[in-house]
Structure 1
């Protein structure tokens, strides 16, 4: 066997593999004997079919199989031994038709895509802006009120106010529908809401049911207790007789409220509550702004790091690798995002190697465990819940031949790489309000 390597340009090369009969014959004969022991043919005892007959029946297929196996091993072995920095996979270059039956010597060519050396230039010459959201008293007050609503108690009221729930008899004025139900006022449209506010027990409220629920048949069904088909036909004026008014009273500032928000005895008075709430809001905002910064870093590197890539080769490789998803007609549309992802993988790989970034099994398991604890809504589980979660994590990470494990490992490596990059580049800070931050994110998303 002879393998010749010819670099056609900076990012493309050709591997030529020459095979003689002596290269594949031993494996070919060995496989032929195996077939001879298994073949069952009328007129012969099992395992006693003449070798010439077996070869005539299966020889060509066995030869093709053994040569292809030898080619694959040899090409990949050559690439590995010579430390060729390739991208994608070698592509067979079709020449003249092969006469597998008659030929004894063969020559095959493979196109290879190369990745030249590149420098991602991760240093303080790269400048980024980190946004820090200013937590105002207004934000703290709004969050506090939302928490008081969330953990408040349901009481019966004498007069209807916004966001109350009304229990009563709902009926169509034309007599086509009647049912006892509970209607949440936070779902009533602004145009019909004034008809409800200020009403007291036993009052009658007449409203247009389609206007009242913003012409949403699904919610008409949910609020009225009607079937989906009934709701589609419900229209016109309906009458609701007020039987009960349910009001969500705000939670008082007491230990029970503090424990519901932060856990038992985490805070013990309003001052401690306010301090911890501000810290939590700042931490949540910081997570958002850090993710936004990392996204900007990712996009900047993909756009600015100069990596010469074998574009034509990669397009051919995409077509061969994904014939069901990529066609010559769609290749240009699909290629841009593919190339960006490929560039990032190369950048990430180089940085991870140079910085010694690694992901171990314990990190992956911890990530999966936190994910499942999040589903249970608690980060300090009971022993019983922790036991259930551990079993779920083990199952999740081992199923699908470890695909889930690899997916989480890739996520962690992605995050570690970006965190490392952020630590090496120049980052200035700017204070913004939460509304300004949302607007900046929205504009950035529109660009991308």
Structure 2
């Protein structure tokens, strides 16, 4: 057997594999002898079938199978030994004159080679790293929400501006039929508020869906519609009122604090606000970190220039797809996946060059930290080390969990690396400013 590589250009190569009779014949003969012992052919006793008949019936299939096994093993070994950095898998070339009846065979495979490139972590224009601050207005709003959530509902005979109402939105034409509960304060505009104020249980209120609520999320939930449906919907709906209540806010006392955080963790309104601020900043850090990761990813993809073996990859996609694809469909699929592939190559280079691999000990510690955090949510503040080790061992015995946690830990490592090495500029913003700047 002989294997050679012909480099077409920097991104494309052809591997040629020559397999001769001596490479496969001994194994084929051995398999056919075993077939002869077990073959059940009418007119012959088992084990006495003529070898010529066995070869005629099974010989070609056994040879093809054995040659393919040798071929795949040899090709994989060659790629590994030569340390060839390929994209996708080798694609067999179409050889019109190929003949299985011959004794010696020549196979050719196309390779798509990974490009060589450098990653510049110091772009001329710094990437914004947002620091989202929790202001007093947000804290006070959260306190009010908590007091409402844990307060008492007092039944009313008619709707007032501070009421909470329950009823059913309906429109046969728009396909809406959904029970909803919301506060009158969540409605948008005086016209909508006036339509509800003074109504009594059993009354039917007619309103337009457009500009009905101040917040899109409330609008979508109340009418049970998607974000896309909400953009275009402008229908007349009825709201059949079933009940109206006033929510009396809970007192800021020790009973409420204990319900929220456990006994004596928080002991005053000031400590409550500090806790809300602390928790909010932690949540906002997660959001700003994710945005930073997105922005760094986009910048590195845009500024790291390299070519890909596009034609090869389109053919590879066409050959490996679950459903048959035309050449044009394969090219379109490659165009959709190209950005993701570019990031995989950039990420892989950053990981390799900076030794960011995840070790088993790191994965074990990471899983124990997650377990400990989850247990704290249920009041188990000081779990024993053995208990953590046992739970972690069960989790890490599941390969899917190992994969999921490894990806999470790698993201943490990548984020830490980018914070330390990428050119960044910090910008302090409120949450509303962050949303406006990032999502609008």
TM-score range for the pair, normalised by the shorter chain length: 0.7 to 0.9
- Quote the offset at 1:22 in angstroms: 0.3
- Quote the offset at 1:112 in angstroms: 1.1
- Partners of 1:120 and 1:6 lie apart in 2 by 29
The number of equivalent residue pairs is 404
- Partners of 2:263 and 2:296 lie apart in 1 by 40
- Quote the offset at 1:422 in angstroms: 2.6
- TM-score in terms of structure 2 length: 0.78
- Partners of 2:239 and 2:9 lie apart in 1 by 78
- Partners of 1:312 and 1:285 lie apart in 2 by 43
Instruction: Please name the residue that 2:378 is paired with.
Output: 380
- Partners of 1:236 and 1:87 lie apart in 2 by 58
Runs (5+) with no aligned partner, structure 1: 171-180, 222-233, 444-448
Instruction: Please name the residue that 1:419 is paired with.
Output: 416
Alpha-carbon RMSD: 4.0
Instruction: Please name the residue that 2:65 is paired with.
Output: 65
Runs (5+) with no aligned partner, structure 2: 169-178, 213-218, 225-235
Summarize deviations over 1:61-115 as a string: whole Å, max 9, x none: 11111111111111111111111122211111112243213x0111111111112
Task: Specify whether residues 284 and 133 from structure 1 end up closer, same or farther in structure 2 by C-alpha distance, changes over 3 A only.
Answer: same
Instruction: Please name the residue that 2:54 is paired with.
Output: 54
Where do residues 267-278 of structure 1 align in structure 2 (5 Å cutoff)? 267-278=266-277
Where do residues 18-417 of structure 1 align in structure 2 (5 Å cutoff)? 18-101=18-101, 103-123=102-122, 127-156=126-155, 160-162=159-161, 164-165=163-164, 186=184, 191=191, 193-194=193-194, 196-197=196-197, 206-208=203-205, 246-322=245-321, 324=323, 326-361=325-360, 379-380=377-378, 394=394, 398=398, 402-403=399-400, 405-417=402-414
- Quote the offset at 1:164 in angstroms: 3.3
- Partners of 2:372 and 2:313 lie apart in 1 by 42
Summarize deviations over 1:30-64 as a string: whole Å, max 9, x none: 22223223321112222332221111001111111
- TM-score in terms of structure 1 length: 0.77
- Quote the offset at 1:211 in angstroms: 6.1
Task: Specify whether residues 10 and 235 from structure 1 end up closer, same or farther in structure 2 by C-alpha distance, changes over 3 A only.
Answer: closer
Instruction: Indicate the SS of the match to 1:130.
Output: strand
- Contact 2:86/2:114 (CA < 8 Å) preserved in 1? yes
- Partners of 1:161 and 1:194 lie apart in 2 by 10
Task: Specify whether residues 378 and 319 from structure 1 end up closer, same or farther in structure 2 by C-alpha distance, changes over 3 A only.
Answer: farther
Summarize deviations over 1:361-381 as a string: whole Å, max 9, x none: 57667877898999x997336
- Partners of 1:251 and 1:143 lie apart in 2 by 13
